[in-house]
Structure 1
Amino acid sequence: MLTADIPTRAQLVQRAAELAPLLKKNAAQAEQDRRLQDETIEALGDAGLFKLRVPKRYGGYEADTRTLVDVAAELGRADGAAAWTAAVYWIPTWMTCLFPDSVQEEVFATPDVRICGTLSPSALATPAPGGITVNGKWGFISGAHHSHWQEVIAVLQSPDGPPQPVMALVPIGDLRLIDDWDTSGLCGTGSVSTVAQDLFVPQERVLPLGAILQGQGASALNADTPVYRSPLLPVASASSVGTALGLARAAKDAFFERLPGRTITYTSYAQQAEAPLTHLQVAEATFRTDRAEFHAHRLTSLVDGKGEAGEQWSLEERARARADLGAACKLAKEAVDLLASASGGSSIYRDVPIQRVVRDIQAINVHALMNPSTNTELYGRVLCGQEPNTLYI
């Protein structure tokens, strides 16, 4: 067992901010390589950012979701791919903390362990003596190249009952990685596909997904710890929203960095900064970023508050968690789009950072969990007294 000095939220955000020069330097090459550089991963680890959801007994920080949002936002301000990959690691790391304590002993024995994962049940499993056998493929596995473990979801087919989705932990070395990540946005996340073929998973590393979705884990030591006793989807929502907020701030940084001396071509304005149109654009983008921050922080207040109090979640609260996630992503994209449209034709060159921000925020907004329309519809459906049309709530 380890004990560690726990840094404050402000200290962790400062550590993330200090990585900005490195992340900005490496961002273009990460896009070209379609994965983060080893140097970036090592820097994130050295800053302690892979420990945020690790239990304190293993030297982790047990950080709340407000800390996750603020750290990811600072990372995203420098590089969306680095922020997204860190946030994706936080979610399966949290999920690992719901497994039996013996499993955690095995996983967290690796310093700065990195766990990738998915919520999609795109594989099949069958019972086997002492566990299950898994066959299937999972896509969009961000950070797989640098991971030690993967959390997988499969549908367990049993002769003794109906099929049920299960969650399992497997060493990344037991999976085949398919280098199929060739995208327009979040290129540097290395979100490749992974494949299991006749993979045996011991029973202690298998949990029913339904219980996890309800916040019912199998860990005795984490059962009373606030950060580990909330349902999965609100936690995942709060864990991932910070990157979108950071990208909105990155767009503002990029715009104002280029503003001095810029004109508006084919107009009489000697300075773009003098134009009323510019004033409206930057003010509206800033308002939208502020509103995105409101929804992100309201989401974390809900998740962290319920965890601290140990209270049960209502259906409306679960739906609102996903709605806040979607709203933050939508508003962040609107802010980015406003500033990009005000950046002129020269902003589409690949050496101008705002073009990458545009593509990254678009990728986030079409992600199945983040999608604003899907999440808003779900919230409205529940508000109208209808049953949710998804298990992921």
Structure 2
Amino acid sequence: MTLPTDTTVLDGATILANARAVAPVLREEAEASERGRRLTPRAVEALRSTGVFRMAMPRAWGGPEVDIRTQTEIIEELSAADGAAGWCAMIGSDGGFYTAPLEDAVARGLYPDLDMITAGWIVPAGRLHRVAGGYRLEGRWQFGSGCTHADVIIGGALVFEDGAPVLTEGRPEVRVAMLPAGEFEILDTWHTTGLAGSGSHDYTTEGAFVPAEQTFRFGDLRRRRRAGTLYAWPGMFFANLPGVPLGIARAALRSAEQILADKMLVPEMRPAREDPRVRTGIAQVHAMVGAARSYQYDVLGELWATLETGGEPSLRERAALVGAHMHTIRTCRDAVRLLADVVGSASIYRRCPIERHQRDLTTIAQHLMGQPKILEMAGALWLGVDKVLTRHPLSAEGLI
């Protein structure tokens, strides 16, 4: 395997190959990661060795600047080995996106090593109080996936001055602060249904100083300080998310087929593979997951093609992107639930991978991009209505 250093330029194909190479390690560590409610050190180093955390870093830094379809494939491959590891890889590789609106020297100061890991929540759960040269940050954020092994942590916050909210264009100003992980305290809160190994704990800080140049507004992502197709759309940092449910669903299918290869039905005492219900269920799940995957990658490909020509995504392309995310997440969850029914009682035991896959997908379906309100947003865009659901954080900040 090619181990990345700052003088090694990896491409997407190499990172994808590396992801396949470390899959056995991630599978071996999955149970321990879940038990510890954080990725094991061995799992973290396996991920880091692939180059996944640098895949959104710009070519100007020696990064690979991997296109979004290939990024999604990489995340899918890692998630097929362990959903929590894939989720942490997806979140942890966001540094290349979040540094795009920063001055280059500031960004490299935060990320002197291209394989540094990012964690944090963009939702404005904190407050940035203006002081000379920057802000004092206070707050408590949820869902800090990978925060136990992160190098840089972000936090969305409302801006205050003299105790009052700062308004920009009539709305409260929201900025995202970026700080070394040591500036935050990690709170042991991640006791959850699924993705237990992701270590998505709450985190907090009280009064940490943030230089002004280490903050940005999501509107800044549109101003193209950094060239390149990967940075041309402000919501690109979550475009690779569907790789996680797709990978988990693929792994669940593989597990189901292995179980069914030797399973005997009782009381009939005949091979499960001969049962029409089993055969029909397996075929249905393959079609559900395969169709969702094809649609997701088609949508990402069309978005990328538009951005490569310098165009602005149309309302219909944005609608497809939003709707495909929701569709992929929910379809994979429903497919694996059906798979559990096909497999039968074996799927209820903790020793069965399908049991964990179900829990992981149940948890992912509660993400912002998996919520039914996302379909309302997509439907409005399909019907030509822009500026929809402005109360939704992704819409309000112009990320959709």
Alignment TM class, shorter chain as reference: over 0.9
Offset of 1:174 from its aligned partner?
0.6
CA distance, structure 2, for counterparts of residue 303 and residue 269 of structure 1: 51
- Counterpart of 1:226 in structure 2 is 229
Offset of 1:89 from its aligned partner?
1.2
Offset of 1:295 from its aligned partner?
2.6
- Counterpart of 1:54 in structure 2 is 57
Matches within 5 A, 1:53-72: 53-72=56-75
Whether the aligned pair in 1 keeps the contact of 2:127 and 2:138 (CA below 8 Å) is: yes
CA distance, structure 2, for counterparts of residue 195 and residue 180 of structure 1: 12
Whether the aligned pair in 2 keeps the contact of 1:165 and 1:210 (CA below 8 Å) is: no
Whether the aligned pair in 1 keeps the contact of 2:178 and 2:215 (CA below 8 Å) is: yes
Offset of 1:98 from its aligned partner?
2.5
One-letter amino acid of the counterpart of residue 146, structure 2: G
Matches within 5 A, 1:197-346: 197-212=206-221, 215-217=222-224, 219=225, 222=226, 224-232=227-235, 235-266=236-267, 268=268, 270-346=270-346
CA distance, structure 2, for counterparts of residue 178 and residue 2 of structure 1: 32
What is the DSSP-based 3-state SS (H/G/I as helix, E as strand, rest coil) of the residue aligned with 1:201? Answer: strand
Deviations 1:227-250 (A, max 9, x none): 112122xx1332211011001101
What is the DSSP-based 3-state SS (H/G/I as helix, E as strand, rest coil) of the residue aligned with 2:52? Answer: coil
Offset of 1:349 from its aligned partner?
1.1
Offset of 1:200 from its aligned partner?
1.3
- Counterpart of 1:367 in structure 2 is 367
Whether the aligned pair in 2 keeps the contact of 1:65 and 1:304 (CA below 8 Å) is: yes
CA distance, structure 1, for counterparts of residue 42 and residue 173 of structure 2: 41
- Counterpart of 2:45 in structure 1 is 42
One-letter amino acid of the counterpart of residue 261, structure 1: D
One-letter amino acid of the counterpart of residue 382, structure 2: L
- Counterpart of 1:172 in structure 2 is 181
Offset of 1:3 from its aligned partner?
5.0
Deviations 1:237-276 (A, max 9, x none): 322110110011011000011112212223x250100011
One-letter amino acid of the counterpart of residue 142, structure 2: G
Unaligned runs of 5+ in 1: none
CA distance, structure 2, for counterparts of residue 194 and residue 240 of structure 1: 22
- Counterpart of 1:381 in structure 2 is 380
Deviations 1:97-148 (A, max 9, x none): 3311111221221351111122211111121101111111110010001111
CA distance, structure 2, for counterparts of residue 205 and residue 15 of structure 1: 32
Offset of 1:383 from its aligned partner?
2.7
Unaligned runs of 5+ in 2: 391-395
CA distance, structure 2, for counterparts of residue 306 and residue 172 of structure 1: 36
Of the three residues 4, 8, 19, the one matched with 1:4 is: 8
Offset of 1:298 from its aligned partner?
2.2
What is the DSSP-based 3-state SS (H/G/I as helix, E as strand, rest coil) of the residue aligned with 2:285? Answer: helix
- Is residue 92 of structure 2 the alignment partner of residue 89 of structure 1? yes
Offset of 1:57 from its aligned partner?
3.3
CA distance, structure 1, for counterparts of residue 383 and residue 61 of structure 2: 45
Deviations 1:187-228 (A, max 9, x none): 00000111120121101111123333xx235x3xx2x21111
Offset of 1:82 from its aligned partner?
0.3
Aligned CA distance change for structure 1 residues 237 and 374 (closer, same or farther; 3 Å): farther
Offset of 1:160 from its aligned partner?
9.1
- Counterpart of 1:113 in structure 2 is 116
Aligned CA distance change for structure 1 residues 187 and 279 (closer, same or farther; 3 Å): same
CA distance, structure 2, for counterparts of residue 329 and residue 198 of structure 1: 37
Offset of 1:336 from its aligned partner?
1.0
In terms of mean alpha carbon deviation, does 294-303 or 280-289 score higher?
294-303
Matches within 5 A, 1:108-187: 108-158=111-161, 161-162=166-167, 163-187=172-196
CA distance, structure 2, for counterparts of residue 303 and residue 102 of structure 1: 30
CA distance, structure 2, for counterparts of residue 351 and residue 120 of structure 1: 36
Q: Give the share of equivalent positions with the same residue, in percent.
A: 28
One-letter amino acid of the counterpart of residue 256, structure 1: E
One-letter amino acid of the counterpart of residue 383, structure 1: W
In terms of mean alpha carbon deviation, does 352-361 or 96-105 score higher?
96-105
CA distance, structure 1, for counterparts of residue 237 and residue 266 of structure 2: 45
Matches within 5 A, 1:93-104: 93-104=96-107
Aligned CA distance change for structure 1 residues 134 and 316 (closer, same or farther; 3 Å): farther
In terms of mean alpha carbon deviation, does 118-127 or 305-314 score higher?
305-314
What is the DSSP-based 3-state SS (H/G/I as helix, E as strand, rest coil) of the residue aligned with 1:143? Answer: coil
Whether the aligned pair in 1 keeps the contact of 2:140 and 2:203 (CA below 8 Å) is: yes
One-letter amino acid of the counterpart of residue 247, structure 2: G
Deviations 1:158-202 (A, max 9, x none): 469513001121111011110111111000000011112012110
Offset of 1:374 from its aligned partner?
2.0
Whether the aligned pair in 2 keeps the contact of 1:50 and 1:90 (CA below 8 Å) is: yes
Offset of 1:2 from its aligned partner?
5.5
Whether the aligned pair in 1 keeps the contact of 2:159 and 2:166 (CA below 8 Å) is: no
What is the DSSP-based 3-state SS (H/G/I as helix, E as strand, rest coil) of the residue aligned with 1:125? Answer: strand
What is the TM-score when the length of structure 2 is the normalising length?
0.91
Whether the aligned pair in 2 keeps the contact of 1:65 and 1:300 (CA below 8 Å) is: yes
